[in-house]
Structure 1
Amino acid sequence: MQIKDFMVDRNLKELTEHRTVALPIACYETIINQNVHGYIPLHWHDELQFILVIKGQSIFQVNGENIVVGEGEGLFINSGCLHMAKDMNDSNCAYICLNVSPSFILSQELYATYVTPYIQATNLSYLQLHPNELWGKNILDAVRKINELIRKKSLYYELDIFIQLTFIWKNLVMNGFQLKYERMEMLKSHRMKQMLDWIHTHYADKILLEDIARAGQLSRSECCRYFKKFLKKTPLNYVIEYRIQKSLILLQKDHLNVTEVAYQVGFNSTSYFIDRFRKYMKMTPLSYKKRMSNFNSNRPFD
């Protein structure tokens, strides 16, 4: 299964149903530049995520840190962490994505000892998975096996998936990563999500830096530092990019022209919207509108 129309709610929580089998997991292949945005936009989810790059090279951003992941390598992304992904060097990067509910990893009796400490650690937003390290190779091989099991659906495949998940978690625990718990890091993550939530609620309105900072109970300068650390951009640049993301859906509606879309997503100038859109999407809004109209008209019925 290839997911192209990547959707998130106003809190950046992914809306993809993470249940492609009769278990609380999802495993699918993704080609990054075939997504409707041309990349995987910033989002988070409660599920644990394991990535295996099967072609090309990608740069992932997890809680503000950039990680390059090449073919044959992978990544573990912890529950609740903000992350996004972009193709690197036009490599047509493709990867297997395994999402699994933390509660499904181990039994309730073992959960508090072997799962809770890891999903609550403030220094474990991600782990790189390298095939030249035994524990990393074991995890990557298991992700590939789970993907094959879901595709083939042979007898008792659900039990085989559960065995592989337990094997994955055992190898992650055994790699010896030292866990830390810092209250200030938890507070920073909470404030960042508060500011993003406020933007996603008010993106169509006039937004000032003071408004964003107030939502996170921060000064203007502290607000800018948070965005630079977590997202590598200024708060107002993030607002512009988020407005453009929201415009992509509206531009696919036949009854709305470019000017109407611009004002609906918070731009007070059509020319400025076109300029920012061109910089962000490498095409004009009208070109995008025509392109998506042709795509939708040629799309086969489900």
Structure 2
Amino acid sequence: MVLGHFSIDQNLMELTEHLTVLLPIACYETTINQNIQGHIPLHWHDELQFVYMNKGEAIFHINGEGVELLEGNGLFINSGLLHMAEEKTKAASYICMNVAPSFVLSQELFSTFVYPYVQASNLPYVNIDGNKEWGKIILESILKINRLLKEKQPFFEIDISTQLAKAWKSFMMHGIPPAFNKTEASKNEKMKRMLDWIHHHYEEKVSLEDIASAGQLSRSECCRYFKRILKRSPFSYLEHYRIQKSLLLLQEEDANITEVGYRVGFNSTSYFIQKFRKEIQMTPLAYKKHKQKS
């Protein structure tokens, strides 16, 4: 089986191109364990995301909070939120619908009925109950939009717009009213700035002071942010990110294990191999051979 790779840039922004300017909405089905890392890594995107769990169970981590998603239910993830997913049951899969906020409703309605939700600090996510009528409407719309995008029948764009408006109306009527908390919004931005600094300097010698300064925090506050949002220390995340960057380098035909380790910031080959094995469940050499056969 050829495993997929979830593409994100150095800022953790998803790179997978599903949307176009003409039709800024996309649906795709994801089987979590088919990603090379065995999970969907931490990332974010500007689009609103609706998830329908069509098989098994999964745990989504959104801004550091774990959310269990059962088969037949759904989840809304707001714009710009750091999130990742891991399976709870084997071969768990979901249908994901990403949509640009500006496409949800017409331009005339956007500022009143969509923008407040995008800016809301009290709505990082919303559970969608598939057993309740309002939840069924949203989940059925996701499935219909997914089918419309695949079939591309005449005027399918209008049908998609109709289904999207129907789902959003149900979401607004039965969801949580939007509210804004400047402190929470600031915390999210500080976390992104610290991650951005790591992504630009991971090859170098990095200190806790460096990371904390990027978020304009003390070292202790920096550690608390990482523990709360990512459930790991700043240096644990740094090593995780270095391993992720090494995956691409190891796919180069003449890749040398020692050189790759040094290129991503590890000063010891044995330590690189140790951390790689723990993260990827195989050695760098085994991974390299696996990718050559793919």
TM-aligned CA distance change 1:16 to 1:233, over 3 Å? same
Counterpart residue number, 1:72: 72
Is the 1:21–1:150 contact (alpha carbons within 8 Å) kept by the matching residues of 2? no
TM-aligned CA distance change 1:21 to 1:102, over 3 Å? closer
Identity within the alignment, %: 58
Does the residue aligned with 1:162 lie in a helix, a strand or coil? helix
Counterpart residue number, 2:149: 150
* Per-residue CA distance 1:120-146 (angstroms, 9 max, x = gap): 000101111111122111111110111
Counterpart residue number, 1:208: 207
Does the residue aligned with 2:51 lie in a helix, a strand or coil? strand
Is the 1:27–1:97 contact (alpha carbons within 8 Å) kept by the matching residues of 2? yes
Aligned partners of 1:288, 1:157: CA distance in 2, in Å? 43
What pairs up with 1:223-262 in 2 under 5 angstroms? 223-262=222-261
Equivalences, count: 293
CA drift of 1:178 comes to 2.8
* Per-residue CA distance 1:214-251 (angstroms, 9 max, x = gap): 11111111001100111111110000000001111111
Gaps of 5+ in 2: none
Normalised by the length of structure 1, the TM-score is 0.94
Is the 2:243–2:264 contact (alpha carbons within 8 Å) kept by the matching residues of 1? yes
CA drift of 1:285 comes to 0.8
Is the 1:57–1:93 contact (alpha carbons within 8 Å) kept by the matching residues of 2? yes
Q: Which amino acid aligns with 2:159?
A: D
Is the 2:26–2:149 contact (alpha carbons within 8 Å) kept by the matching residues of 1? no
Superposition RMSD on alpha carbons, in Å? 1.5
* Per-residue CA distance 1:177-198 (angstroms, 9 max, x = gap): 1322111111111110100000
Aligned partners of 1:229, 1:70: CA distance in 2, in Å? 24
Normalised by the length of structure 2, the TM-score is 0.96
Aligned partners of 2:18, 2:169: CA distance in 1, in Å? 22
CA drift of 1:22 comes to 4.8
Q: Which amino acid aligns with 1:252?
A: Q
Counterpart residue number, 1:299: none
CA drift of 1:5 comes to 2.6
Structure 1 moving runs of 4+ over 2 Å:
none
Aligned partners of 2:36, 2:149: CA distance in 1, in Å? 25
Counterpart residue number, 2:122: 123
CA drift of 1:19 comes to 1.6
* Per-residue CA distance 1:151-172 (angstroms, 9 max, x = gap): 2222221111110010111011
